[in-house]
Homo-oligomer: A and B are copies of this chain.
Amino acid sequence: MKLTRRQQQIYDYLAQNAEHFEHPPTLDELCRALGLRSRGSLHKHIQALVEAGLVEPMDRSHRGIRLVPQGPDEPGIPLLGTIAAGRPIEAVPQAETMQVPEVLLGKGACYVLKVSGDSMIDEGILDGDYVVIEQRDSARNGEIVVALIGNEEVTLKRIEQHPGQVILHPANAAMEPMRYSPDEVRIQGVLKGLLRRY
């Protein structure tokens, strides 16, 4: 998710020189351009960039390294970071954006988070999925929300609100519903869409 220094360098180099290449560079070509001697090493970095959604996955095709077109007309939704049950949102340093179909957007302001962990697996939300969140401070019972618990943890759960009690339901047989008093839980957004890459 978060790029290492070298990965950032390599991405910058690609973004910088994208125009100058006749064809998308191969690993070997890029190696030479960067002064590396091992394809395997570079491959590791490129893999990381693919993971981050910055480079097109080259699925054993011999077609070179291509950047994913970073929204020319800027309809992208900001990718704010990673959400893991039980930990604050881990922000992504640079302002990364992601192209998202309009049908997945809500009416209000939206952003994207990458899911980490299996706490919603029974709802079909897997580790590594991207979720589209509409920024809101209230939700209807049964909606899946991004909730800030006690000003510390942020988590993605199905919400059930009663007078005097809020229950957050994980969707994982191994986990128990969690009960809080309403003032411990602040809703930050509700789930509007989901994207997954295979």
Contact = CB atoms under 8 A, between A and B. Distances in A.
16 contacts: A4-B61, A5-B24, A8-B23, A9-B23, A56-B107, A59-B107, A68-B103, A99-B103, A100-B101, A101-B195, A103-B195, A143-B198, A190-B198, A192-B197, A193-B195, A195-B195
Given A63-B107, A99-B101, A107-B59, A196 B197 contact: no
A100 B103 CA distance: 10
A56 B105 CA distance: 9
Interface residues of A, number: 43
B104 A195 contact: yes
A129 B61 CA distance: 28
User: What's the number of copies of this chain in the assembled complex?
Assistant: 2
Interface of A: 2, 4-5, 8-9, 23-24, 53, 56, 58-59, 61-64, 66, 68-69, 98-104, 106-107, 121, 124-126, 129, 143-144, 190-198
A63 B99 contact: no
Contact of A197 (B62, B104, B125): B104
A197 B132 CA distance: 9
Contacts of A125: 124
- Max chain B C-beta neighbours (<10 A), residue from A9, A61, A100, A104: A104
A190 B101 CA distance: 21
A98 B129 CA distance: 20
A154 B23 CA distance: 38
